[in-house]
């Protein structure tokens, strides 16, 4: 693993520069993370348990080379706050399970952000995720052989055993973001580009057959975002950030409930309350009002409301369980990872990739449980590392500094090829 600062030759005036090509490195950490990424798409429970342990070992193996950045500190603070919520939780058992899952996604987040230091490593992990999505589609077809596959979004929903319909669809939609990231950041050759082009419709097929409206909306939004960036290259990520903030505020306060009820009635899968969401959200708001700072303990909403389900809305779920403090910490983690730590990237490439994750995640965040998703945290960590540059093998004694203000107009030679 190449440390952030590396001298390419021993300082010696008597020696001639070594012009031999560098030996290929075994990217075992990136390959291990790619394995966890693939597993998270079709078996999130295993990824949260054994995958998180593997990620913890990867992080520890870095030793002094592991770099703790602002987003990592905030993620650690969020985990600590989740642990503290055990002392006031209405349901300690549920809060303990929430803490275990938070520790798992923290390990994944830290390992990816510390171990991914080159664009090649980023591509390896992202391709591992896409390989997992492809295997998920294989399982979908294999386990639903008797079903007539037609390209329509109807009442019938297809999934794979042991995985929630929505989670599978959200993971596939997130794969579209990583596909965009590889295309834009790694600059793949013709062969890999052709493969990515083939993967995109396959992912769309799977998420449509899952019947998840949030995932389908996310896929449509990323297509619109890419088109909008082609028409207006200067369009920044501030646009989707502002739109998501307004939508989150509308659902958090209840201002959007009437419009969502009308939308639900127009759906072929209408339940009258948006599949229980509009019935559960008022309870979440009551608990936020009653315990604004600390909440009722991580994950406590499902145990405290008569419907026995979570909010299916990340802001309401986190605020009711961990209070405004917990929601502020989670928001700070995401903002720091996506905005603060990607500022060295060319603005157009940055806005395309970061905006793609935001527009895809928006419907998922507002209508699903994604706050403890291994796929979601892994994608967040990967996109936060889009500023990594492949080290150049320059003159003797040259140093390579990660993330130094070399704009992406000046990519390394490997990225330009």
Cα dihedral 77/82/84/86 (nearest 10): -170
- End-to-end Cα separation, the chain, in angstroms: 23
Q: Is the dihedral of CA 205, 51, 27, 396 positive or negative?
A: positive
| pLDDT value, residue 399 | 33
Cβ contact 59:111 at 8 Å = yes
Please tell me the distance from the alpha carbon of residue 159 to that of residue 166, in angstroms, as a whole number: 9
Q: Which residues contact 137 (CB under 8 A, 6 or more apart)?
A: 172, 202, 203, 205, 206
Pick 145 or 247 by higher pLDDT. 247
Kindly tell me the burial class for residue 409, based on how many C-beta atoms sit within 10 Å of its own C-beta (0-12, 13-18, 19 or more): exposed
- For the range 331-336, what are the long-range contacts, defined as Cβ-Cβ under 8 Å and sequence gap of 24 or more? 332/74, 333/71, 333/74, 333/75, 333/78, 334/380, 336/69, 336/70, 336/71, 336/74
Q: pLDDT per residue over 148-207, tens digit each?
A: 555 554 547 889 999 999 999 999 999 999 999 988 876 777 888 888 889 999 999 998
Q: Is the dihedral of CA 335, 338, 341, 345 positive or negative?
A: negative
Strand partners, 5: 401
CA atoms within 13 A on the CB side of 184: 24
Pick 22 or 302 by higher pLDDT. 302
How confident is residue 268, by pLDDT bands cut at 50, 70 and 90?
A: low
pTM across the whole model: 0.85
Please tell me the distance from the alpha carbon of residue 291 to that of residue 88, in angstroms, as a whole number: 11
Closest residue by Cα to residue 146 from 155, 156, 136:
156
* Helices of type H across 63-150: 70-84, 92-115, 119-142
How confident is residue 262, by pLDDT bands cut at 50, 70 and 90?
A: confident
DSSP string, 16-41: PP--SPPPPP--HHHHHHHHHHHHHH
| pLDDT value, residue 383 | 96
How confident is residue 406, by pLDDT bands cut at 50, 70 and 90?
A: very low
Cβ contact 65:4 at 8 Å = yes
């Amino acid at each position: 693993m190449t440390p952030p600062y590396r001298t390419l030759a021993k300082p010696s005036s008597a020696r001639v520069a070594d012009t031999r090509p560098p030996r290929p490195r075994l990217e075992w950490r990136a390959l291990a993370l790619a394995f966890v990424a693939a597993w998270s798409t079709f078996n999130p429970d295993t990824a949260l348990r054994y995958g998180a342990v593997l990620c913890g070992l990867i992080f520890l193996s870095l030793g002094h080379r592991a770099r703790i950045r602002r987003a990592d500190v905030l993620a650690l603070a969020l985990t600590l706050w989740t642990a503290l919520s055990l002392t006031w939780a209405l349901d300690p058992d549920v809060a303990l399970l929430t803490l275990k899952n938070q520790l798992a996604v923290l390990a994944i987040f830290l390992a990816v952000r510390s171990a991914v230091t080159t664009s090649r490593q980023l591509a390896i992990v992202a391709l591992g995720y896409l390989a997992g999505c492809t295997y998920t589609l294989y399982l979908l077809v294999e386990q639903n052989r008797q079903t007539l596959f037609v390209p329509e979004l109807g009442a019938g929903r297809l999934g794979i055993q042991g995985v929630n319909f929505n989670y599978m669809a959200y993971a596939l939609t997130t794969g579209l973001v990583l596909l965009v990231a590889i295309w834009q950041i790694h600059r793949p050759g013709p062969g890999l580009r052709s493969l990515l082009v083939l993967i995109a419709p396959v992912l769309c097929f799977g998420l449509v057959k899952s019947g998840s409206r949030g995932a389908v909306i996310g896929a449509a939004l990323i297509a619109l975002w890419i088109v909008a960036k082609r028409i207006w290259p200067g369009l920044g990520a501030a646009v989707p950030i502002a739109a998501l903030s307004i939508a989150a505020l509308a659902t958090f306060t209840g201002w959007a409930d009437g419009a969502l009820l009308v939308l639900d009635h127009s759906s072929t899968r209408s339940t009258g309350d948006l599949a229980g969401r509009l019935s559960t959200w008022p309870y979440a708001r009551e608990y936020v009002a009653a315990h604004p700072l600390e909440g009722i303990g991580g994950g406590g909403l499902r145990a405290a409301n008569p419907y026995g389900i979570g909010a299916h809305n990340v802001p309401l779920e986190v605020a009711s369980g961990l209070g405004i403090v917990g929601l502020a910490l989670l928001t700070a983690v995401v903002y720091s990872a996506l905005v603060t730590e990607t500022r060295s990237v060319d603005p157009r490439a940055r806005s395309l990739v970061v905006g793609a994750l935001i527009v895809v995640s928006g419907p998922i965040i507002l209508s699903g449980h994604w706050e403890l998703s291994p796929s979601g945290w892994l994608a967040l960590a990967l996109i936060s590392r889009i500023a990594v540059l492949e080290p150049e093998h320059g003159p003797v004694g040259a140093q390579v500094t990660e993330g130094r203000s070399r704009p992406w107009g000046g990519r390394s030679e490997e990225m330009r090829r």
